[in-house]
C-alpha cells in the first residue's frame, strides 16, 4: 500500500541522492527522482521503490511531461522536493556575465516554479500536499564573496517559497524550506580543501553539514509530525546562523 508519491528533483547524486536513499527505506513511499544529463541517472537499481526520470528542468515541456507521466502511472503526487542545482564556478561580481546568473536562475528558480505550478494543480485536486525547497545557509548569514549568481538564485527561491506558502495553504498545500550549511558534494568541489577545513573549524559544532543531516530535515518535513508547519526555513548548519 503506497502512502505517499514523492518527486525529488536532482536526486542522482549529492543531497538529492541521500534524500532518495533515506526516503526509500520507507517501503510505503513511492519515489521518483530527476536528473538531466545522459548517463547520470544515479543508483536507482539500489532501491525497490525509487525510479529515475530524465528531465532537464530548464525545459518547460520536459517538466510538464515528467509530472504528467508520474500522474498517469500513480494517479497522484503528494510531495515535491525542489533540490536540483547546476554546477557553477566562483567569480567576482565585476567579472561576472549575466549568463552565469541566468543558468542558476533557470534551474533553481524557473525549474522549481514550473514543477511547483504543475504539481500544485494536482495537489489542489487531492486536497493537499507538501512542497520542500532546498536553499542554502548563505541566505541566513552575510553571504560569501564571488558567488553572487548562486546567492541571487537562492534568495529568489526563498521569495517564491514564502509567497507560495501564503497562497497555497488554503488548498492544504504547505511550502517549507531547508537551508543546509556547506556539504561535501560535487557542487562544492570547486572549493579548495583548505576552505572546507576552515569552514568546519569555524562552525560552532566543528564540522561541515552532512547530506544525512539535511536529508533528515527533509524527511521530517514530509512526515505527519510537520503537518502544521508552513513557510518555515530550517537551518541545518550546526548553529552557524542564529
Ligand atoms: N553542496 C553544498 O555545500 C550545498 C550547501 C547548501 C545547499 N545546497 C543545495 O543542495 C541542493 C543539492 O546540491 P548538491 O550539493 O547535492 O549538488 P550536486 O551533487 O551537484 O547534485 C545536483 C543535482 O541536480 C541535478 N541537476 C542539475 N541541473 C539540472 C537540470 N537542469 N535539470 C534537472 N536536474 C539537474 C544533477 O543531475 P544532472 O547533473 O544529471 O543534471 C544532480 O542530480 C542544491 O539545491 C544546492 O544548492 C548544497
Q: Whose CA is nearest to atom 32 of ligand 1?
A: 56
Ligand 1 pocket test, pick from 15, 103, 157, 180 with the greatest ligand atom count within 8 Å of Cβ, gives 15
Return the residue whose CA atom lies nearest to atom 41 of ligand 1.
Answer: 36
Instruction: List the residue whose alpha carbon is closest to atom 14 of ligand 1.
Output: 14
Query: Per the structure block, which three cell numbers stand in for 174?
Result: 504547505
Q: Whose CA is nearest to atom 31 of ligand 1?
A: 56
Distance 11 CA to ligand 1 centre (A): 8
Can you read off the three cell numbers belonging to residue 153?
A: 538564485
Q: What is the pTM of this model?
A: 0.99
pLDDT at 110: 99
Q: What is the mean pLDDT of each run of 10 residues along the chain (242 residues)?
A: 97 98 97 96 89 98 98 98 97 98 98 99 98 98 96 98 98 99 97 97 98 98 98 98 90
d(Cα 55, Cα 79) in Å, to the nearest integer? 17
Sketch the domain layout of the chain as residue ranges.
4-236
| Fold of the domain spanning 4-236 | Rossmann fold (3.40.50)
CA of 1 to the centre of ligand 1 (A): 31
pLDDT of residue 85: 98
For residue 206, the model assigns a pLDDT of 98
Q: What is the DSSP string of 201-238?
A: HHSTTSSPPPHHHHHHHHHHHHSGGGTT--S-EEEEST
Q: What's the pLDDT at 43?
A: 82
Cα distance between residue 141 and residue 139, in whole Å: 6
Instruction: Name all residues whose Cβ lies below 6 A of ligand 1.
Output: 9-16, 34-37, 40, 55-58, 83-87, 107, 134, 136, 180, 182-183, 185-188
Q: Specify the pLDDT at position 167.
A: 98
pLDDT at 121: 98
The number of residues making up the chain comes to 242
Amino acid at each position: 500500500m503506497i502512502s505517499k508519491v514523492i518527486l525529488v528533483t536532482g536526486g542522482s547524486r549529492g543531497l538529492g541522492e541521500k534524500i532518495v536513499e533515506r526516503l526509500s527505506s520507507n517501503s510505503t513511499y513511492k519515489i521518483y527522482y530527476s536528473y538531466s544529463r545522459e548517463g547520470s541517472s544515479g543508483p536507482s537499481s539500489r532501491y525497490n521503490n525509487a525510479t529515475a526520470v530524465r528531465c532537464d528542468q530548464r525545459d518547460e515541456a520536459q517538466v510538464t511531461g515528467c509530472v504528467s507521466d508520474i500522474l498517469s502511472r500513480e494517479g497522484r503526487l503528494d510531495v515535491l522536493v525542489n533540490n536540483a542545482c547546476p554546477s557553477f564556478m566562483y567569480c567576482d561580481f565585476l567579472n561576472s556575465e549575466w549568463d552565469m546568473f541566468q543558468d542558476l536562475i533557470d534551474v533553481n528558480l524557473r525549474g522549481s516554479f514550473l514543477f511547483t505550478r504543475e504539481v500544485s494543480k494536482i495537489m489542489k485536486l487531492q486536497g493537499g500536499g507538501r512542497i520542500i525547497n532546498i536553499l542554502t545557509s548563505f541566505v541566513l548569514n552575510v553571504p560569501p564573496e564571488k558567488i553572487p549568481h548562486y546567492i541571487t538564485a537562492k534568495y529568489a527561491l526563498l521569495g517564491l517559497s514564502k509567497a507560495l506558502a501564503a497562497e497555497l495553504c488554503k488548498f492544504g498545500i504547505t511550502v517549507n524550506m531547508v537551508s543546509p550549511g556547506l556539504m561535501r558534494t560535487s557542487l562544492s568541489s570547486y572549493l579548495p580543501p583548505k576552505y572546507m577545513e576552515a569552514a568546519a573549524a569555524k562552525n560552532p559544532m566543528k564540522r561541515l553539514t552532512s547530506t544525512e543531516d539535511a536529508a533528515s530535515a527533509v524527511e521530517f518535513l514530509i512526515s505527519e509530525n510537520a503537518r502544521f508547519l508552513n513557510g518555515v526555513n530550517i537551518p541545518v548548519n550546526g548553529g552557524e546562523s542564529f
